[in-house]
Structure 1
């Protein structure tokens, strides 16, 4: 399982919080040792920084033979083993979302992801040749799925945002259609009798091309471009490619022949029926948390924290804006920050955050993280755009660990954002978790403000 990914980063952040700890750089305490190297690399020319990013982010990729023989239940058991060995009133299973991490922190519940990224070593497929990518690893995919019959494979290829990483790594994302032995064991051992199995269901879908049974190819991904722009073209794509010496006006990709749950964020519905049957056998309740887009949860969870802080008699005037895998539930609560998670530092995310700020009571302070993916991808929001967002603060808005002059190739941001959070002077005790009854009370009062999110039994 790739560490440099949404699901793994969010599992680590959730588990670390439940262990009463902050999240270290890159999800590992050893990551702090890389900070001096990242700071030094930041001084290098742009193309050298891109090379370092490409090599570092692709270093996790595994040989095809390794993935072909992988039992994904071993990975699931390792995920379950990250959490404290205690009882939980609720456990979430399903889609990734940084806002969901903060919901788990507020309720004191664990989260088990449906989707995992298995990083496959790739050296011979250029990022701008999706026609070559689609069948490059068919034999590996067939062997992986044969060993793991309760998974669907989404081979994702995005030459826009993942341009650097995809030169070293193919994105094999697998979605489980059954809870599986490791997750079932965790639930029976850790979920309270009569507790809640919360299914986190992101309904985001994407055009795909069928490659084989339980195997689809997705060209493009959630971010700065819409699916139609990946397949039909956009004037900005030609300019982007010219920056890399490529004289193309668009990408030639396999024609989609259907739609599937989006590879990284979408929920595979087959899991729902199996989870419900499992819950009936063991006397658990099932609730569904349904949202259209991974970022749709963010305004709701920000409002939940603001409501929670005010009930505790704390100020609720400080907003922490997180970005992709830069998620920190422990320090958000410790510093009294209202968390708002953005999917990526792209224009749609900047627009969504701006709408939230315009529709909410003003914040005195804004602290803004920006994930750096190494390239000026199409749809990336500029530094000036993010500065305009910070201007919504009544007292002060600031970047959190971001070097604006080196964004989006700011290699040190992965190590500086924790220091930026610790520099916030406020300190508050970590509270007792909210109950599910309190969550229901909040949603009954405020859910009308968030029509893209709904709870169902």
Structure 2
């Protein structure tokens, strides 16, 4: 493990907790999306967002060397057990809201992280605020193939977090398929608010125009979960892995491949018993948070709308269709597509260039197949740029470069797969600013369209997403 920052003893979440940018995991979806959305609302791109991990320098080295480099890098920024006790969810919420320009907004989006919601927020001229945040903490003497030990260690960390943050629920995710060797060196915890934080309430009160709508986006995917303790639950695997819950069974061939790649052994894999029915996966929204938003909007006279997302591609397809219609209504072609992936997105550059955005949650075959199906059923695009984010790990669920090339092949004239992202795929990493560098090369298509009205956007999402299972209420 690399060196970690020293902390002063005696600090608790009730006192002077750590700053939000130290608590929220670097590269986590919520962190990237808030940063990208806030920049776009300020009229700037993501050129300063994200940094390449050390594995990007080890594309040609053996697997153990890459694993060691990734673990050392994670060790420098992961929270210690002492720092877990200093987590202050209220400071995290303030850090999120303070990134947005101080002005009145025509509405706000809250809830689950999704790249499409950043593009939707920018089209509406609204901020987006997450209903939870991810943390990464040290796991000394951890092992990627020991989920029971991960649960035990995570329970102690979750207890420290919850001691100072009773309004949180902590979901622990142990997923070697999406995190590789890091799942054996660090613990991934998602803190989900059980109610609107004070910072969020102040933001809604001070920054929303009178009668402005509040939109709550909910990822409705479910996953088997262990209720480890009051306020702490444990999840083995995750939807974003591209695998199914059954693939994390000890007899699974896919699991054996995943653990071998991450330096583990499936013979040691003894998962905790799961007796409860599947619950909302890690990016779900707590029912208490939902109630709190409903109560606030009712008391303050703001309309509330729910966007229920059964799969990421449902919102991605509906948002892309909405953008195409919006651009064409403004006199633009709407015939140039960018396929983003994971952290590789830039809402401001998409808007500046008049592009249609489609966001893939990750580089799994499942995600890429869905964009292929959407393209096959859509009016063709003259130009398609594809930004495949290398996940930094190997997994049987990942799409190969030929599948990504097939996506670009749908373009009539321009078919571009970013070479930098493809170089060393899938084991390297590239920063968010790589998307900015690619999209800056696109020609300008100004002026920008007038902001979308909320009613128009919801109607378009309802019409374009209903056959994908997207529900607007």
Superposed pair shares fold, TM > 0.5: yes
**Do 2:174 and 2:188's aligned partners in 1 also have CA atoms closer than 8 Å?**
yes
Change (3 A) 1:431 1:255: same
Matches within 5 A, 1:8-157: 8-27=31-50, 31=51, 41-42=58-59, 44=61, 47-157=64-174
In the alignment, which residue of structure 1 is the partner of 2:12?
none
1:225-244 Cα shifts (integer Å, max 9, x gaps): 01121136432332343445
CA distance in 2, matches of 1:352, 1:380: 13
Deviation per CA, 1:45-94, whole angstroms, max 9, x where unpaired? 55434433333345321111111232210110111100010111111111
Q: Give, in whole Å, the separation in 2 of the partners of 1:267 and 1:294.
A: 15
Please, which of 340, 345, 349 is the counterpart of residue 327 of structure 1? 345
Q: How far does residue 431 in structure 1 lie from its aligned partner after superposition?
A: 3.2
Any idea what SS the aligned residue of 1:257 has? Answer: coil
Aligned length, in residue pairs: 448
Counterparts of 1:45-444 in structure 2, within 5 Å, are: 47-222=64-239, 223-231=241-249, 233-243=251-261, 246-248=264-266, 251-258=269-276, 259-263=278-282, 265-400=283-418, 402-412=420-430, 414-443=432-461
Deviation at 1:252, TM superposition (A): 2.3
Quick one: distance in 2 between partners of 1:24 and 1:50? 28
Name the CA distance, whole Å, in 1 between partners of 2:61 and 2:446: 40
Change (3 A) 1:194 1:244: closer
CA distance in 2 between counterparts of 1:164 and 1:368 reads: 28
Structure 1 332/47 Cα, relative in aligned 2: closer, same or farther at 3 Å? Answer: farther
1:106-150 deviation digits (Å, cap 9, x = unpaired)? 101111101101221223211111111011132332232121111
- Partners of 1:2 and 1:8 within 8 A in 2: yes
Q: What RMSD over aligned residues (CA atoms) do the two structures have, in Å?
A: 2.2
Matched-pair contact (CA < 8 Å) for 1:375–1:409: yes
CA contact (8 A) 2:173 2:187 kept: yes
Q: Say whether the 8 Å CA contact 1:61–1:168 is kept in structure 2.
A: no
Instruction: Say if 1:91 and 1:197, in contact at 8 Å, map to a contact too.
Output: yes
User: How far, CA to CA, are the matches of 2:43 and 2:75 in structure 1?
Assistant: 31
TM-score of the aligned structures, taking structure 1 as reference length: 0.92
Q: CA distance change for structure 1 residues 58 and 98 in 2, over 3 Å: closer, same or farther?
A: farther
* Mapped contact 1:156–1:170 kept (Cα < 8 A): yes
* TM-score under structure 2 length normalisation: 0.89
Out of 147-156 and 392-401, give the one that drifted further: 392-401
Q: Secondary structure at the match of 1:354?
A: helix
CA–CA distance in 2 between the matches of 1:240 and 1:438?
A: 44
Q: Distance in 1 between matches of 2:194 and 2:185?
A: 29
For the 8 Å contact 1:104–1:111, the answer to whether it is kept is yes
Unaligned ranges ≥5, structure 1: none
Closer, same or farther: CA 178–304 of 1 in aligned 2, 3 Å: same
CA–CA distance in structure 2, aligned partners of residues 87 and 301 of structure 1: 24
What residue in structure 1 maps to residue 25 of structure 2? 2
Contact 1:85 1:190 in 2 (8 A): yes
Structure 2 gap ranges (5+)? 1-23
Kept after mapping to 1: 8 A contact 2:224/2:279:
yes
Distance 1:214 1:283 in 2: 32
Return the alpha-carbon distance in structure 2 between the equivalents of residues 25 and 373 of structure 1: 20
Deviation at 1:39, TM superposition (A): 6.6
| Greater fraction of residues in strand | 1
Distance in 2, Cα, partners of 1:355 & 1:93: 29
Deviation at 1:354, TM superposition (A): 0.9
Is the Cα contact below 8 Å between 1:21 and 1:330 reproduced in 2? yes
Give yes or no for contact 1:230–1:251 (8 Å, CA) kept in 2.
Answer: no
Deviation by residue 1:205-253 (Cα, 9 ceiling, x = unmatched): 1101111011111010122201121136432332343445655368321
Contact 1:403 1:413 in 2 (8 A): no
Question: Is the 2:326–2:449 Cα contact (8 Å) retained in structure 1?
Answer: no
Change (3 A) 1:215 1:311: same
Q: Give deviations 1:168-210, integer Å, cap 9, x for gaps.
A: 3211101111002110011000011111111111111110111
The Cα offsets for residues 261-315 of structure 1, whole Å up to 9 and x where unpaired, read as 111x222222111111111121111111111123320000000000011111111
